[in-house]
Amino acid sequence: MTLARFVPCLALTAFVATAAFAQDAARDDRIAALERQVQVLTEEIAKLRTESAVPDEQPLASEHGLGPAASKVYARNRGVSIGGYGELNYTNPIDDEGTNFARADALRLITYLGYKFNDRIVFNSEIEFEHGRTGPGSISAGTGEVSVEFANLDFHWKPELNFRAGMLLMPMGFVNEIHEPPYFYGVLRPETEVRLLPSTWRELGAGIYGQLGETFEYRAYVTTGFNAAGFGSDGFRSGRQNGNRAFAEDAAFVARADWSPDRLPGLELGGAFYYGGADQEQAGRPDANLWIGEFHAQYRRGGFSSRALFAYTGLSNAGALSTALGKAPTAGIAQNMLGGYFELGYDVWPLLFGESEEQALEPYARIEFIDTQHDVPNGFVRNLNQDYWVLSTGLSYFPHPNVVLKAEYRNEHAESGLRPDQIALGVGFAY
């Protein structure tokens, strides 16, 4: 082969080889790119599986007057929301008379079920299981129960004005609306918010709520009233109708307002007022109208926390009502009742162990005064055992912001008769 023919052949061979090499390199690049895409897709699928099983949770925060865990549905874009809380406790009355016993109780297990139809319409509910069971009681105590704590539809219009209807939590005090155990001190709820603002207190009704600017929030509802057949010398708790085929002859009105001043971050001042009929036009009962007013304040800043609450009540025709209900002279329903408390708490974890984003250790103390026989009608005698002080002190340990271990000691002192002191231990959580 001549040189003239060899050179073109060599050039053609080099070109073909170069083209083949380039094609192989391009193929390798495509394969590498596909492998990277497969890896990315694999990681995304694994992430989706993990999030489906254990979704990332945002920090719980109270909205529209409800507890932090109960507010989860408002943060969803659409669809179902599930949350809840639970509390279990051990109580040991210190009583020389031997009439009280230590008890352990699966007090509450709660499920919040919500559904967000769209940005305007939200359903929210709380289903409560109490005392570990339903049906016939155990050999040591009475029955448990399953009940609807609240179930309402919210219709959102604008921040200043929204509508709510259904089974409503009455917006009074601190605990009745926000009763999840990580968010109040003590194994047991404050006595004022059990006797005078009978947590958990709910009724069927409808109303409005909203926020005016950044600092003012309100709620106002019309609801079914109490049934006075359950009133007693120890308060109104048994008069709650709880949406159970409730008498609706007498309605009630309740309103609440809260103000958080800009210049004092962490401070909240507020109050609530309730007025409604309680006789429900039942035969033999006189007209009985009940009003309840309460003022509350709280301040939280850094590790410091404090609360104060005062409540006062008035009941018309208390004497005639007590007689109609067959109350004994020492068990009459008071014309006026009062109660209040002041509490302080502080997170000492940073002082003892250094800063922590999750853990907290909060000792607290509360002083409380209750008098559900403050002013009894003529013909009845004050039951001085219902006029008493409660001094509570305890410790709350938070291994997580939504999980709490509690210990509490209560010292109770009545004007007359025995009110045993009490040691209590508890665990609580919200999610």
pTM: 0.85
Residues 121 and 143: their CA atoms lie apart, in Å, by: 37
Q: What is the pLDDT along the chain (431 residues), one digit of tens a residue?
A: 554 554 455 445 544 445 555 555 566 666 666 666 667 665 665 555 544 444 556 789 999 999 999 999 999 999 999 999 999 999 999 875 556 789 999 999 999 999 999 999 999 999 999 998 876 656 566 778 899 999 999 999 999 999 999 999 999 999 999 999 999 999 999 999 999 999 999 999 999 999 999 999 999 999 999 999 999 999 999 999 999 999 999 999 999 999 999 999 999 999 999 999 999 999 999 999 999 999 999 999 999 999 999 999 999 999 999 999 999 999 999 999 999 999 999 999 999 999 999 999 999 999 999 999 999 999 999 999 999 999 999 999 999 999 999 999 999 999 998 899 999 999 999 99
Structure token pair of residue 431 = 């999610």
Q: Is 271 left (phi over 0), alpha (psi -120 to 50) or beta?
A: beta
Sign of the dihedral through C-alpha 53, 58, 60, 61:
negative
Residues 280 and 320: their CA atoms lie apart, in Å, by: 15
Quick one: pLDDT at residue 10? 47
Residues 229 and 95: their CA atoms lie apart, in Å, by: 31
Give the CA angle between residues 329, 317, 200 to the nearest 5°: 85
Per-residue 3-state assignment (H helix, E strand, C coil) for the chain: CCHHHHHHHHHHHHHHHHHHHHHHHHHHHHHHHHHHHHHHHHHHHHHHHHHHHCCCCCCCCCCCCCCCHHHHHHHCCCEEEEEEEEEEEEEEEECCCCCCCCEEEEEEEEEEEEEECCCCEEEEEEEEEECCCCCCCCCCCCCCEEEEEEEEEEEEEECCEEEEEEEEECCCCCCCCCCCHHHCCCCCCCCHHHHCCCCCCEEEEEEEEEEECCCEEEEEEEEECCCHHHCECCECHHHCCCCCCCCCCCEEEEEEEEECCCCCCCEEEEEEEEEEECCCCCCCCCCCEEEEEEEEEEEEECCEEEEEEEEEEEECCHHHHHHHCCCCCCCCCCCEEEEEEEEEEECCHHHHHCCCCCCEEEEEEEEEEEEEEEECCCCCCCCHHHEEEEEEEEEEEEEECCEEEEEEEEEEEECCCCCCEEEEEEEEEEC
The values of phi and psi at residue 427, to 5°, are -125, 145
Quick one: pLDDT at residue 100? 78
In degrees to the nearest 10, what's the CA dihedral of 113, 116, 122, 124? 10
Check if the beta carbon of residue 201 is closer than 8 Å to that of residue 349.
no
Strand partners, 247: none
Quick one: pLDDT at residue 51? 47
The values of phi and psi at residue 348, to 5°, are -95, 0
Residues 202 and 195: their CA atoms lie apart, in Å, by: 14
Quick one: pLDDT at residue 40? 64
Residues 12 and 57: their CA atoms lie apart, in Å, by: 65
Quick one: pLDDT at residue 53? 47
Q: How far apart are the first and last CA of the chain?
A: 88
Check if the beta carbon of residue 271 is closer than 8 Å to that of residue 293.
yes
Quick one: pLDDT at residue 292? 98
Collect all residues with Cβ–Cβ distance below 8 Å to 87 and sequence separation of at least 6: 107, 108, 181, 426, 427, 428, 429
